Amino acid sequence: MITIDVNHKSCKHDGKCVEVCPMQILTMNEKERVPEFIPGGGDICINCGHCFAVCPPGCISLSTMNAADAMVLDRSHLPNSDQVEFFLKGRRSIRKYTDEPVTKESIEKLLDISRYAPSGINRQPVNWSVILGQANVHALGEQVTSWMESLLNVNAPMAASFRFERIVESWKKGEDRICRGATALVIAYGLKDDPMVPQSCTIAATYLELAAFGLGLGACWAGYVGMAINMSDDVRKATGISSRATAGAVMMLGHSKYKYSRIPLRNSSRIIWK
């Protein structure tokens, strides 16, 4: 159960916290006009912290988050709309990396940012497995290649549809089309029986990919690795992920060998306006 603690002296009695609560479990108490949980509210609170975050004087603390520990959202630190557009359109999937390793500290920073990705009912169900170092990433790529070969050997339709033959051939020639020579690999995973996991992993990994661009690192989805983790026990075990879990997203990381000079064109949006 979550409990709420309100600083009665600094409360402005504006009711913003009550209005923004997605669960509608806050009410202004009759006597002092300060927020409190409706009966049983603390049991169904999803711990999203919106009441805590919307309060200008920061007078709400929850048993799970103390107002004094919160980062103040200084709006002058936010990029403007042109900067956001440029940033989002300017991100590219990076597939050519230098040998410079990505530090553990940089990955910790990316994972810290990714914790703020939205997740269904704020369950935050995403866990991470990190493969550090080019040699370790390459070794995992080798295992993914063996898995691809095992599917090719039994003529699995999937092997043909994803053209595994070409990928395996390239690998044998020393070309890595699986992890692209990345110096780290980050896997977002969660419990198989949690329906929120696939989308939450996708969004968290997307945050990570964008945060990597912001930090000057290169990133790219590693779709084949994700497939292999979910279909091969050997590959899954190599990542340390339990058999009760599913990999929702895998991201390559590294220092980009090249800088892109322009933004490629994309299809126009297909929209139904009603």
Ligand X SMILES: Cc1cc2nc3c(=O)[nH]c(=O)nc-3n(C[C@H](O)[C@H](O)[C@H](O)COP(=O)(O)O)c2cc1C
Taking CB under 6 A as the criterion, the residue among 131, 182, 203, 222 binding ligand X is 222
Question: Mask 192-221, x = binds ligand X (CB under 6 A)?
Answer: ----------------------------xx
Question: Mask 40-79, x = binds ligand X (CB under 6 A)?
Answer: ----------------------------------------
Q: Least separation, in Å, of the C-beta of 222 and ligand X?
A: 5
**76 and 182 in contact (C-beta within 8 Å)?**
no
**183 and 133 in contact (C-beta within 8 Å)?**
yes
Q: How many residues bind ligand X (CB under 6 A)?
A: 9
Q: Least separation, in Å, of the C-beta of 93 and ligand X?
A: 3
Q: Name the amino acid, one letter, at 118.
A: P
Q: Which is nearer to ligand X, 125 or 141 (CB)?
A: 141
Helices (H), 185-269: 197-214, 223-231, 233-239
Give the residue at shortest CB distance from ligand X.
223
Residue 187 has which token pair? 């896997």
Q: Least separation, in Å, of the C-beta of 266 and ligand X?
A: 8
Q: Which is nearer to ligand X, 156 or 162 (CB)?
A: 162
Judged by CB under 6 A, does residue 223 bind ligand X?
yes
> Exposed e or buried b for every residue in 151-185, given b needs 16+ CB within 10 A?
bbeeeeeebeebebeebbeebeeeebbbbbbbbbb
Q: Which is nearer to ligand X, 54 or 231 (CB)?
A: 231
Taking CB under 6 A as the criterion, the residue among 60, 224, 232, 239 binding ligand X is 224
Q: Supply the DSSP string of 47-77, one letter for each residue.
A: ---HHHHH-TT--EEETTB-GGGSPP--GGG
Binders in 90-119 for ligand X, by CB under 6 A: 92-93, 95
Q: How far apart are CA 177 and CA 141, in angstroms?
A: 9
Q: Give how far Cα 225 sits from Cα of 78, 138, 143, 157, Å.
A: 35, 11, 9, 18
Judged by CB under 6 A, does residue 137 bind ligand X?
no
Q: Which is nearer to ligand X, 207 or 224 (CB)?
A: 224
Phi, psi angles (nearest 5°) of residue 104: -60, -35
Q: Which is nearer to ligand X, 187 or 222 (CB)?
A: 222
Phi, psi angles (nearest 5°) of residue 149: -65, -40
Using CB under 6 A, list all residues that contact ligand X.
92-93, 95, 180, 220-224
